Amino acid sequence: MNSQPEKPALRLDWCSYQAAKYAVEHWHYSRVMPAGKAVIVGAWECGKFIGVVIFSRGANNNLSKAYGLKQTECCELTRIALTDHAAPVSRIAALALRFLKKQSPGVRLVVSYADPEQGHHGGIYQGMNWIYDGKSNGQAGFVVINGKTFHKRSVSSKYGNAKPSFLKTLGLDASYGPNLWKHRYLMPLDADMRKRIIPLSKPYPKRAGSDTKDTAGHHPAEGGSTPTPALPS
């Protein structure tokens, strides 16, 4: 009699900031922890730490207003940072949502973004039946240095000035970047909120050629805000 191989035991629990920082710096394309207060949920398979799911306020201070909510009623899924694993990303994220609801019962809506600049279209969120709210408004405030795009805040923090004219004096090939948009997904956490945002629902975008699949393996993942690659030395 053939027996099916057992799936590795998946466990989610609260996670330390230090462990989350390690996961984000090693397993998320941004390499940067989100700023401000955050709800951090860790994931383990067979006792091995495989990464984190992080919820926070995100970079947009007006995010909640767009949906008629107070700031305390809305948050962003800002990071899914996972190393090699067997469980689907959608399952890990769905379990993490349960922790968020328990820890922050006043939160009614979670927003997350999929960045087409990273080859993402939101397949993880589609697999979890999130509501697709279309494309975000194009974000300004980016600088291209030696062919890579950085947020002006990150550039100013490193060099003291984000103006391309100044950066060129340092020997860098710099210019202002384009206004970047992302796919925006919504997860309501109560029935009334779902009724409120259902009219915003749009058809899911199709998979990009290099998009992260919701399967086992290494996942830099889609959750979160503007990517911040390592600045040139």
How confident is the model over 84-138, as pLDDT tens digits? Answer: 999 999 999 999 999 999 999 999 999 999 988 778 888 999 999 999 999 887 6
- pLDDT confidence tier of residue 26, bands split at 50, 70 and 90: very high
Going by their DSSP bridges, the two strands 109-114 and 142-145 should be labelled as: unpaired
In a domain, 13, yes or no: yes
Pair 157, 102 in one domain: no
> pTM above 0.85?
no
For 15-24, what is the mean pLDDT? 97
The residue-averaged pLDDT of 24-29 equals 94
Q: Residue 174's domain spans which residues?
A: 140-179
In this structure, is residue 1 part of a structural domain? no
Please indicate, yes or no, if residue 26 is contained in any of the structural domains.
yes
Same domain? For 51 and 156 the reply is: no
Q: How far is Cα 78 from Cα 16, in angstroms, rounded to an integer?
A: 16
Of the candidates 39, 194, 167, the residue with the CA atom closest to the CA atom of residue 103? 39
Q: Please indicate, yes or no, whether residues 82 and 61 belong to a single structural domain of this protein.
A: yes
Do 41 and 152 fall within a single domain?
A: no
Per-residue confidence (pLDDT) for residue 48, from 0 to 100: 97
Distance between start and end Cα atoms, the chain: 60
Same domain for 110 and 174, yes or no, is: no
91 and 174, same domain (yes or no): no
User: Per residue in 166-214, pLDDT tens?
Assistant: 999 999 998 887 767 789 999 999 999 999 999 999 999 987 554 444 4
116 shares a domain with 175: no
Joined together, the tokens standing for residue 31 give 């390499």
Q: Both 145 and 233 in a single domain? A: no
Are residue 112 and residue 222 in the same domain, yes or no?
yes
Residue 50 has pLDDT above 90, yes or no: yes
Instruction: Indicate the number of domains in the chain.
Output: 2
Same domain, 101 and 158: no
> Do both 88 and 38 map to the same domain?
yes
Instruction: Tell me: do 73 and 149 sit in the same domain.
Output: no
Indicate the average pLDDT of the chain. Answer: 85
**Residue 2 counted as domain residue:** no
